Structure 1
Amino acid sequence: MRSALFARIATWVVAFLVGAVYGLAGTVSHAYELGWFPLGLVLAVIGSAALLAAVRLLTLDRWATLATGFGMMIATLVVSGTGPGGSVIVPQSMLGVVWTIAVPLLVAVAVAWPERLHVTRPDGPVSADR
């Protein structure tokens, strides 16, 4: 029992740290544009969504997914303010607003996603935990 609790808490801490790294990377790279195409934003959103989906599917734990999302959101919040030298990483532009709103939306969808899918077969319902 004690080792299971320790493993679960350790999973949450690692998930938070990995989410913080992804949040930091997405915050730094979201403003990159290739001509007119916002390549940095698209890759940051895809990478963040993929990480949240992977954590949710691999751990089967909403709390680990939420810890990953908190890491992303806190990294975005901390880095998006004005730095000590007056530099701004997330300017108040359309890309910055989209990135700032996309992260919590992705986290909400990943955490709220249903746990089990039920499939009805001719011989009766089958759940994912079989």
Structure 2
Amino acid sequence: MPRRRGYTDAVTTTVSRLLTWLIAAVIGVVYGTAATVAQAFTIGVLPVGLVLATVGTTALFVALRLLVGDRWTTLAGGLGAILAMVVFSGTGPGGSVIVAAPTPDTEWIPLTWTFVVPIIVALVFAWPDTSRLPAPRKLVE
């Protein structure tokens, strides 16, 4: 019996796409965990941890979007990072806390981090795909 090539290709494409999303989500969880723990680090009044966490997660989401060329992979990575941020920012069932409570001088840092991650994910996800646009025409002199 001959194989149905279109069906096999569709299944392979679907499985590879789902695996890509899963891997992106796991990478997002890893980056989100590291960034959520590190975002509270300051040197004097400089929020070094927040800046590095923002740069790192932005680079991750842009890399996912550029390397895979799929918006949904970026969203999967972003949801993984947001999940890690929510889980590790809260108090555990036994009352333990991974991320220390901010002082009155630094309470804006975790609040900023809470909004930065979803905003970055939304921007990278919504950024238009210009790779399919026609090349600009050169004017003949």
TM-score by length of 2: 0.81
Alignment partner, residue 75 of structure 2: 66
Q: Provide the C-alpha distance between the structure 2 equivalents of 1:90 and 1:45, rounded to a whole number of angstroms.
A: 19
User: Is 1:27–1:90's contact at 8 Å kept on the other side of the alignment?
Assistant: no
Alpha carbons of structure 1 residues 47 and 113: separation in structure 2 relative to 1, 3 Å: same
Alignment partner, residue 128 of structure 1: none
User: Is 2:89–2:97's contact at 8 Å kept on the other side of the alignment?
Assistant: no
In terms of Rg, which structure is larger? 2
Identity score, percent: 41
Partner residue of 1:34 out of 43, 52, 59: 43
User: Is 1:32–1:39's contact at 8 Å kept on the other side of the alignment?
Assistant: yes
Structural RMSD (CA): 1.6
Deviations 1:13-59 (A, max 9, x none): 00000001111001000000112211111000000000000000000
Equivalent positions of 1:24-103 (< 5 A) are: 24-83=33-92, 84-87=94-97, 89=99, 91=101, 93-103=107-117
Q: Which has the higher strand share?
A: 1
The unaligned stretches of length 5 or more in structure 2 are: 1-9
Does the residue aligned with 2:136 lie in a helix, a strand or coil? strand
Size of the alignment, in residue pairs?
A: 123
Where has structure 1 moved over 3 Å in runs of 4 or more?
none
Q: Provide the C-alpha distance between the structure 2 equivalents of 1:50 and 1:3, rounded to a whole number of angstroms.
A: 29
Alignment partner, residue 7 of structure 2: none
